[in-house]
Structures are given as structure tokens and as C-alpha cells.
Amino acid sequence: MTVIRIGHVLALAAAAVLATGCSSLREELDRERNPARTATPEPAPPEDRPLPTLTPATPPTTPSTPAANCPESGVRITPGLVQGAMGLRAMTVTLTNCGTRPYEVNGYPGVRVLDEDRAPYDIEVLKGTDGIHMAGPAPDPAPVTLKPGESARSGLTWRMMSPDTSTTYLEITAAPGERPQTMETLDGPLDLTDTGRLGTTPWQKSD
């Protein structure tokens, strides 16, 4: 029994020495790696940085397209209301640049008055209004440049004698060489076939 106890004590002592030696060895290795024996700093936590702002990509710019139902010429002509007093009639036609480029016009519109079969009446179209009684003077023609979306106007005047002689269609040409545009729906009668004379004013830029 005494021999067994002594052996057991020696075994425990040897284990303690080994443990102490391992600890000393580990401390020695640490001392070689870090002679100043400073504590190894722990990694700093990531900084709270704001997330980058994502800006949507700007879509590619597409060239402007003409408005719906815009003629190939890039201009649209529309009639105004027919007004009258004391046998004098007047209406306005509006020329609008519905295209994508500037449009220049100068002078008077071309006008033809058509019957129901679209055949022209024998109407004298005047450049100016001096030949129309009580119509008053017309402005002088001048070049007008219309940017896309801008408009110009011309006035038509005539004398009415018989209310039963109204016409059906009005054909307007913006400038010589342009394709005429026919207005089928007019807001009032063109009752000028008895007098057979129509005064016009030059294109003027709309306000």
C-alpha cells in the first residue's frame, strides 16, 4: 500500500510539473512575440457610417415627337367662331406649330371656299381688308417665327347679303408651296357667295 501511494503521489507531481512547464512554455512564447507584454487590442467594431445614397440613373433623353395628328408640314390650322354684326362677318383661323422645329411664316394665308362636292366657289380673296366695307384696316405683313407649341392668327372678313348662301368647306394654306388643310366643321356659316369677296389679314403671332 505504501508503494502504491508513493507512486500515485509521484504521478500527480509529474503531471503538475508538466502543466507548469506547459504554462511556462506558453508564457515564454508569448513574451517572444510581444516583448513589451502589451495587451493585444481587440478589433474595433465597425464604424456607423451612413449608407451611400443611390441616385436613380437618368433615362436617356429622347427627341421630341410631334403632337398627335400633326400634319407632315409640322403646323395645324383650326377655325375660330364666326361673328357678325350689321351684315359684316369675321372669323379667325389659327396656325399652330405642332412639330419639333421652328416654323416661319410670312404674309397672308391661301384661302379657298368649297362647296359640298369640294369644288371651289368663284370667290375673290383679297390680301387685306380694304375691299370689305366696314372691315377696317389690316396690319402689314411681317415674318413670324413660331417655336413648337406657338401659334399665329389670320382674320377673314366678308359681307353677308343672303343667309341662304352659306358654304360647306374652307381650305387654308399656311404659305405658298405648303399642302392645304381643309376645315370641315365650322362654327358658323360662311355666307359670302352672294358678295363673292373675302378679305384676309396677314399672319400675326398670337399673344
- How do 88-97 and 75-79 pair as beta strands? antiparallel
Q: Is the pLDDT of residue 7 over 60?
A: no
Q: What residues contact 201, with CB distance under 8 A and at least 6 apart? A: 108, 128, 129, 138, 139, 154, 155, 157
Nearest to 146 by CA among 92, 98, 178, 111: 98
Q: Is the pLDDT of residue 88 over 70?
A: yes
Q: What is the pLDDT of residues 96-143, one digit of tens each?
A: 999 999 999 999 999 999 988 899 989 999 999 999 998 988 999 999
- Model-level pTM? 0.65
